[in-house]
Structure 1
Amino acid sequence: MYNIVLANNNFFRMRVCIVGGGLTGAIAASLLRSSLPALHIELWDKASRFGGRMCTKRKPSEPRVSGVDVGAQYISSTPEYYAAHKSYYSDLVARGVLQPMTCRITDDRHPPDTRHFVAPNGMSSVVQHFVDKAACTARLGTQVRDLQYEWDKCEGKSRWRVAAADGEVVLFDAVLLTLPVPQMLALGGDLTAAIDKVAGLRSELEAVSYSSRFCLGLFYPASVADQIILPEGVAAMYITNSDSPFCYVAIDNLRRGLAAGDDGFLSVMVHTSRAFGAARVEEQKEALLPELLDSFRRLFPSWPAPCDAFCHKWRYSQVVTPVPESRGGSVAVGGGEVVLSGDAFTHSNVDGCIRAATSAAAALTQYVAGLKTADK
C-alpha cells in the first residue's frame, strides 16, 4: 500500500510503472519524485543497466575497465535550449556528471554558439544520475510483454496489469512508456485499443521512423597510445569518405577529457553511416564484426591491432520522422493513466528528452490530480 502527497496534503494510494530506462524515463521519474514524493515508482528496462541510447559498455574481457560510449558521444545544446534547461545543465556540471567539452572535433556540424558537454564517467552516468534522484524501484533485465486493463479486487478499482516476458505480472495505477515507438506498438493486450481511441494517433505512431547504426568498440593497451592518433591530433572526427561504412570515430578517453591509459587501456568508438546501417540492419552484429574490423584497418592502416573489440547494433538509433509537434511531447491514452513519450515525440538529443520527460510527468501529475478530485 503506497501513498502520494499532493500540494494540499490529501493522500491516496498509487503505483506508477515507467517502461524504458533511458534518459526520458529517468528524468520523468525524477520529476515525479519531486512533485509527488511518496509515489511508488518502478523503472523497468530489458537491459542489464540503465542508459538506453546513452549507453556505456566495458571491455568484453575486463568489465572493470573504463567503458566506451556506444551511443550519444557528446551533448550539444543551442542557446535557446540551454536557456530553457540551464538548471539541468548547471546541476549536472556542479555534480561532476557533465563537464564542458574542451577537445577538438573535425567537421563538427553544430552552429558555433552551441554549448557542448561530455560525461567523464560515460554517458550512462547521466541517466543514472536521474535514476538516483528518483529513488525508484529498479527492475533491470525485465522486458514487458503486454498491458491489460483489469479489475483489482483488493483495491476495488481498475488498474493496468504489466506483464513481463518472464511471466511476472504487476498491477499499476498508471504507466509511462518511453520505448522506441515500434516496440510500443508491438506490445500486446489492451494498449492497442487505448491507442485507437485517440483520433489519428495510430497513423502518427506508425509513421515514426528511425535511423539504424552499428558501432565498433576498440580497446588498446596504454603502451601503444602514441600510435592511436587521429589527423591533427583531434579527439574525434566525422568521416566524409562515401566509400567507407563509417561516419564517425573518436578516441573515447580524449573525448571525455581523460588521460589515455589511466586504467591501462585506451578505447576508440566508431559509428557506421546511416546508409550502411539501413542496408545491413537485419544482420547479426557478431557476423559483421570481422568485416567492420577489416574496414577500420584500411581506414587507419598505421594503427596497431586492438587487443579487444566488440560490435553493437542500434536498430533504433536516432529519430528521423517524429510524432507531430502538435502532440506536445507526450500523449495520454486509456483515460489518461497510460502515457506515451520519448524522443520520438520531440527529437533525439538531451534537450528533446528533457522536453518529452517534462510533458510526460505533467500528464501523469494531471491524471493523479484528477483522481484526487474524483475521490472527494
Structure 2
Amino acid sequence: MIKTAMEKIVIVGAGMTGASSAALLRKVLPNGAVVKIVDKSRGTGGRMSTSRSSTGKSATVDLGAQYISINSHYAKTHQSFHEELMSQGLLKPSTCVIENDKFGGEDIKQYVTPAGVSSLVKYFVKQAGAELMYDSHVSKVDVEDNKVKLTTLKGDVELCDGVILTMPVPQILQLDGSIQNLIESQPKVKENLENVSYSMRFAVGIFYDPGVTLSYPWAVKYFRDNPCVCFISIDNKKRGIENSSVGPSAVIHTSVHFGMKHIEEDKEQVKNIIMKHVKELLPDLPEPAEVKGHKWRYSQVHKSYAGEPGCVVLSNSPPIILAGDAFSHSNLDGCLDSAQSVNDAFVQSLGLDHPTNRL
C-alpha cells in the first residue's frame, strides 16, 4: 500500500481505461483515499457504451465496441482477468453466426457481453468504489501548490492530489491551463501526441417492441462494398439472449470513409441517410419503434502514440498521467495494458521501488 498523503485522485474519462485504472489504484491507495471519475457524458462506458430504448421495451444495443476480441498472447497474460469476468457472467464465448467475418484467424477468439459491453466498465467502477460525476466537461488543468486543479466548462473546480487523463488525445491537446506548459516543455511528447489519429464513424441503434421478429440467419453481418454501412448486428441475438418479454434491437456501424465524409454534419440528418442505406440492404427489415443516432468522432485509434508506452507521465509531482487506448491499442486488453502502465507509473512517481499491483 502507498505510504503517502494522497487523499484524492481524479480520473477524467469513464471508459474502460479510466475504470480499470481506478480499480488497480484502489488496491494500493491508503484507506480513505478518494478515487473520483468524471466524464462529460451522462453515463459510464466511453466507447464501450450500451444504449437503452426510451421506453425500456426493447433489448439494449452496444453503440461502440461490439466484441471482446482476445488473441493468444492476452489469453495468457490477462487470463485471470478474463476468467474473473466470465465467472461473473459478464463475458462469454461468442457462438453466434457472423456473416462475412472480417476478423478470422485462429489466433483470435471472440467473446460477447450478455449485459452489454458497458457492463465491463461498470464492474471495474464498482470494484474501485469510485465516486462518479457525469456531465462534467473538464476544459482546464492547472498545477497550484502541488495540487492539480481541474476546471469544467460550467466553471466547477475540483482540487486533487493527482490526475489521470484518459480522454482522446485531441481533447487533451485542447485543454487550457498550465498543462499546456507541461506539454510544450516536452517537445517529443508534444510531437507524439500531435501524431496520434483516430478513425471516425456513425452508429445507429434501432429498437423494436415485443413480438417483433428479425428473421435473419445471422446475428452479425459485414458489408464490404457498401458506401455507408460497415456492419449490422442484431444485438440480443449476438449476445445469445432470446427474451420474448422485450423486443429485439440492432445496431448499424458505418464505414470509416462515410464517417469522415459526414463527420461535421448533424447526427440526426446523417441517421436518416444511414437508415436509407439499411433499407436498401435489408428491404424486409421491420419498421423500428425507435431509432437513435450517435457520432463517434474518435472511434478507434488509427495511429497510436509512438512506441505504445501504455501511458505518458507529464508530471511526477503532482502526478499528471495521460492514458487510454491511444497509448496502446483499441480493444479491451489494450485498455488494460494502459491501466497497468498507469498503475506502475503512478506508484513509481510516488517514490516506491517497484509497482506492487497487477491484474
TM-score by length of 2: 0.94
1:374 maps to what in 2?
Answer: none
Match of 2:163 among 163, 175, 185: 175
CA distance in 2, matches of 1:362, 1:13: 16
Residue identity in the other structure for 2:311? S
Match of 1:209 among 171, 175, 197: 197
Instruction: Say whether the 8 Å CA contact 1:66–1:263 is kept in structure 2.
Output: no
Match of 1:17 among 7, 10, 16: 10
Q: CA deviation at 1:73?
A: 0.6
SS of aligned partner of 2:115: coil
CA distance in 1, matches of 2:175, 2:4: 32
SS of aligned partner of 1:283: coil
CA distance in 2, matches of 1:162, 1:64: 40
1:197 maps to what in 2?
Answer: 185
Residue identity in the other structure for 1:255? K
2:28 maps to what in 1?
Answer: 35
CA distance in 2, matches of 1:302, 1:20: 40
1:74 maps to what in 2?
Answer: 67
1:283 maps to what in 2?
Answer: 265
CA distance in 2, matches of 1:16, 1:34: 13
Q: CA deviation at 1:291?
A: 1.7
Match of 2:215 among 229, 232, 236: 229
Q: CA deviation at 1:63?
A: 4.2
CA distance in 2, matches of 1:235, 1:37: 46
SS of aligned partner of 1:369: coil
Residue identity in the other structure for 1:23? M
Matched, 1:188 2:176: yes
Q: CA deviation at 1:36?
A: 2.0
Matched, 1:117 2:111: yes
CA distance in 2, matches of 1:146, 1:64: 41
- The number of equivalent residue pairs is 350
What are the within-5 Å matches in structure 2 for residues 122-133 of structure 1? 122-133=116-127
More helix by share: 1
Summarize the Cα distance change of 1:11–1:194 in structure 2 as closer, same or farther, 3 Å threshold: closer
1:316-369, Cα deviation, whole Å (9 max, x unpaired): 0000001012x5211101235100010000110011101111001211111223
CA distance in 1, matches of 2:284, 2:159: 58
1:332 maps to what in 2?
Answer: 313
Runs of 4 or more, structure 1, over 4 Å off, are none
1:47 maps to what in 2?
Answer: 41
Q: CA deviation at 1:370?
A: 5.8
Residue identity in the other structure for 2:351? A
SS of aligned partner of 1:351: helix
Aligned CA RMSD, in angstroms, stands at 1.6
1:154 maps to what in 2?
Answer: none
Gaps of 5+ in 2: 354-359
Gaps of 5+ in 1: 152-157, 372-376
Percent identical residues: 36
SS of aligned partner of 1:21: coil
Instruction: Say whether the 8 Å CA contact 1:77–1:116 is kept in structure 2.
Output: yes
Matched, 1:141 2:124: no
Q: Which moved more, 1:178-187 or 1:188-197?
A: 188-197
SS of aligned partner of 1:355: helix
Q: Which moved more, 1:85-94 or 1:261-270?
A: 261-270
1:239 maps to what in 2?
Answer: 223
TM-score by length of 1: 0.89
CA distance in 1, matches of 2:168, 2:107: 31
Instruction: Say whether the 8 Å CA contact 2:162–2:320 is kept in structure 1.
Output: yes
Residue identity in the other structure for 1:229? S
**Bigger CA radius of gyration:** 1
SS of aligned partner of 1:117: strand
Match of 1:57 among 51, 61, 68: 51
